[in-house]
């Protein structure tokens, strides 16, 4: 299966747009993690998957895209949210990155009024696929300011970050059906093996 197909089928277990963005990199905890964002096609597939692609354009050949920049943003967001998950101090450099992203978001935020009700929207540049980072940044900012950052956790099996919305904040895995079951099966196998080794 190529990465576009994987992206189309991948679960969105992050519980927040920015965490799902971070989770386009899987198995960060092992020696060879898997990066699903490998090019423009994959980025478009992911934007469609999370439902934020506004573009009416169907041919993206002439639309700007900078993969390196997308990955840079993903890594800095990962450092910030993983830092929060493990109560680590967030580096000045990363806070500055957040500041500059926030300024861009503010510049792209437009106000309009419908039936005397003021509303706002984030203006996306149709000719620049990287401008969707602003939408992700907005979700990241909302999460950061939500006073619920203690619910941000890292899955001990695959390294994905997720928002724990469980009542007792006791969710251990990004998804019980996938990682939770994998860990359970592994533990079961290991305990059986130990028992067998003892008998032998």
* CB closer to Zn ion out of 70 and 179: 179
Stretch that binds Zn ion, among 49-57, 66-74, 116-124, 148-156 (CB under 5 A): 148-156
Smallest separation (angstroms) from Zn ion to the CB of 160: 5
In terms of CB distance, is 17 or 158 closer to Zn ion?
Answer: 158
Q: Residue 6 or residue 122: which is nearer to Zn ion going by CB?
A: 6
Task: Single out the residue of 84, 129, 143, 155 in contact with Zn ion (rule: CB under 5 A).
Answer: 155
42-46, long-range: CB < 8 A, 24+ apart: 42/3, 42/4, 42/7, 43/67, 43/70, 43/129, 44/129, 45/3, 45/4, 45/7, 45/8, 46/7, 46/21
What is the smallest separation between the CB atom of 156 and Zn ion, expressed in angstroms?
8
Can you tell me which of 158, 161, 163, 171 binds Zn ion, judged by CB under 5 A?
158
Enumerate binding residues for Zn ion (CB under 5 A): 155, 157-158, 160, 174, 179
């Amino acid at each position: 299966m190529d990465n576009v197909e994987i992206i189309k089928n991948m679960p969105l277990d992050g519980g927040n747009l920015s965490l799902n963005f971070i989770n386009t990199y899987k198995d960060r905890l092992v020696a060879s993690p898997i990066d699903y964002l490998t090019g423009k096609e994959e980025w478009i597939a992911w934007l469609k998957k999370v439902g934020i692609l506004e573009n009416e354009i169907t041919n993206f050949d002439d639309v700007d895209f900078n993969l390196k920049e997308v990955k840079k943003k993903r890594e800095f967001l990962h450092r910030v949210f993983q830092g929060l998950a493990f109560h680590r101090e967030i580096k000045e450099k990363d806070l500055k990155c957040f500041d500059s992203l926030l300024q861009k978001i503010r510049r792209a935020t437009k106000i309009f009024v419908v039936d005397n009700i003021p509303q706002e929207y984030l203006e996306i540049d149709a000719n620049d696929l990287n401008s969707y980072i602003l939408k992700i940044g907005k979700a990241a900012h909302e999460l950061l300011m939500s006073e619920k950052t203690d619910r941000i956790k890292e899955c001990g099996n695959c390294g994905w970050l997720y928002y724990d919305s469980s009542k007792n904040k006791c969710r251990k895995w990004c998804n019980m059906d996938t990682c939770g079951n994998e860990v359970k099966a592994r533990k079961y196998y290991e305990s059986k093996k130990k028992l067998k080794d003892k008998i032998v």
